[in-house]
């Protein structure tokens, strides 16, 4: 099994040298000559069987089982991503072996009941748990913005929130809706720094409780309302709407309904800011029809959309995406800071009752995400977008039709090879992979005023 797997990997290895230190003391090389870029220590040959049968899913499961380790897990994963061109070690055999996981994933669709169940599985692990690796000030669980490497995690998250507030052009006259408010960081920041009124919604019981407590402690209960509500139940209109890294939890089939809900929620002249993660267009269909380790063990029911999918899903509501500025270097330090705090607080995490497999699962999740952004398999973008509303559809009120302009912050372009920090005039099809977008929409009336 070992040699069958190694032969397959070597046949398509795309670059970088990864050394596998076996229990016998033998070192197996993947890649060319020269010093190793990373070293993985194999403790059990079952690693090779899992990789052969279950591909990337098996590699993650093997790490959680303690069958391999590394003193530099991020580097091992970076080299593996490079060597496999970020496509893993998948074959028809691995897809067959993953069929039970795929069926469970299909059953985790994001209906209103399903969404609450999926959110509960990840976000209701306990507020105390998340407080051990997120920054205490914002409790933001999304990419920060690091224009200065010397910034702290809290400073980077504040910088991100500032950019969102600026993109929305928030003022004390505005009523802001936040869809998927997390622990209230954006709602508190917007109300405190811009003086606006905020309604923030979540379907996480734990987040609802702590976000409400944080709002009260900040003395903002008169301006910020945290509601336990699904986006599909919105029945009011707002001047501005923001949603930060929540789109991935919507589900492919429900994306048009999500954008229609955003459009209905926007008053005439309103603006929308959106942050999300995406898959490259040319890989989306293969991704959508399979299931990966993250969907199985970290984010049940999730589906990372592609740019083209977002365009098609948002078009009936008059929303579209065109270009951006790559800030992919910001997710690396964000994840690195989370992982460092997670490791520092391991004794406290164990004291909460989380066992070794859970901890190794989260270490793999954080390290793999960091490796993906650091290797440019993922990136972040800021940019502008032009769009126009099509004639009113059943989901979009007639008074909301007309031309609009949108500013977007994109997060993460998988397999983008543009130098970090460069600007793009627009995305070509299949260019972006996993990105976060912060976008804003405003009507002709708003443009005239600005």
Sign, CA dihedral 368-372-373-378, equals: negative
- The helices-and-strands tally (H runs, E runs) of the chain is 18, 14
CA dist., res. 205 & res. 162, Å (int): 27
Q: Quick one: three-class SS letters along 226-271?
A: EEECCHHHCCCCEEEEEEECCHHHCCHHHHHHHHHHHHHHEEEEEE
For residue 353, what pLDDT is reported? 97
Segment holding 387, helix H or strand E? strand 381-388
Same fold, 2-97 and 116-449: no
Q: What is the CATH number of domain 116-449?
A: 3.40.50.150
- The tens digit of pLDDT for each residue in 223-263 reads 999 999 999 999 999 999 999 999 999 999 999 999 999 98
Q: Is the pLDDT of residue 2 over 50?
A: yes
- The tens digit of pLDDT for each residue in 144-202 reads 999 999 999 999 999 999 988 988 899 999 999 999 999 999 999 999 999 999 999 99
- The tens digit of pLDDT for each residue in 31-59 reads 988 899 999 999 999 999 999 998 888 99
pLDDT band at 286 (very low <50, low <70, confident <90, very high): confident
pLDDT band at 93 (very low <50, low <70, confident <90, very high): confident
Fold (CATH) for 2-97: Nonspecific Lipid-transfer Protein; Chain A (3.30.1050)
CA dist., res. 383 & res. 403, Å (int): 18
Give backbone dihedrals phi and psi of 79, rounded to 5 degrees, phi first: -65, -40
Q: Are 47 and 59 in contact (CB under 8 A)?
A: yes
Domain ranges of the chain: 2-97, 116-449
For residue 389, what pLDDT is reported? 37
């Amino acid at each position: 099994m070992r040699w069958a797997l190694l032969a397959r990997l070597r046949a398509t290895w795309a670059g970088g040298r990864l050394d596998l230190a076996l229990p016998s003391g033998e070192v197996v090389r993947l890649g060319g000559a020269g010093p190793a870029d990373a070293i993985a220590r194999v403790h059990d040959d079952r690693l090779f069987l899992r990789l052969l049968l279950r591909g990337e899913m098996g590699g993650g499961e093997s790490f959680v089982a303690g069958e391999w380790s590394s003193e530099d897990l991020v580097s091992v994963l970076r080299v593996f991503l490079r060597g496999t061109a970020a496509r893993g070690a998948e074959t028809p055999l691995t897809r067959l072996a993953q069929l039970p996981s795929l069926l469970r994933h299909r059953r985790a669709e994001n209906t209103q009941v399903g969404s609450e169940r999926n959110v509960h599985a990840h976000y209701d692990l306990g507020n105390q748990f998340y407080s051990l690796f997120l920054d205490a000030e914002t409790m933001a669980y999304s990419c920060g913005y690091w224009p200065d490497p010397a910034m702290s995690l809290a400073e980077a998250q504040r910088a991100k929130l500032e950019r969102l507030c600026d993109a929305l052009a928030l003022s004390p006259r505005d009523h802001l809706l936040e869809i998927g408010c997390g622990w209230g960081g954006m709602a508190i920041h917007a109300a405190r720094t811009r003086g606006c009124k905020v309604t923030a919604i979540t379907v996480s019981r734990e987040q609802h409780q702590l976000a409400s407590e944080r709002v009260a402690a900040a003395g903002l209960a008169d301006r910020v309302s945290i509601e336990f509500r699904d986006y599909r139940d919105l029945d009011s209109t707002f001047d501005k709407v923001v949603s930060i890294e929540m789109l991935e939890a919507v589900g492919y089939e429900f994306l048009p309904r999500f954008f229609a809900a955003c459009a209905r929620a926007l008053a005439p002249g309103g603006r929308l800011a959106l942050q999300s993660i995406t898959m490259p267009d040319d890989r989306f269909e293969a991704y959508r029809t399979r299931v990966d380790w993250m969907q199985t063990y970290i984010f049940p029911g999730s589906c990372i959309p592609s740019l083209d999918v977002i365009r098609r899903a948002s078009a009936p509501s008059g929303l579209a995406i065109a270009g951006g500025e790559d800030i992919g270097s910001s997710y690396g330090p964000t994840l690195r800071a989370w992982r460092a705090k997670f490791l520092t607080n391991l004794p406290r995490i164990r004291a909460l009752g989380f066992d070794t497999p859970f901890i190794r699962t989260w270490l793999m999740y954080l390290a793999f995400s960091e490796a993906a952004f650091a290797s440019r398999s993922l990136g972040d973008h800021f940019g502008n977008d032009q769009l126009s509303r099509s004639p009113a559809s059943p989901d979009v009120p007639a008074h909301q039709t007309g031309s609009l302009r949108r500013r977007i912050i994109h997060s993460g372009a998988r397999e983008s090879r543009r130098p970090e920090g460069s600007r793009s005039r627009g995305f070509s099809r299949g260019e972006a992979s996993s990105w976060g977008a912060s976008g804003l929409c405003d009507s002709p009336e708003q443009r005239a005023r600005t």
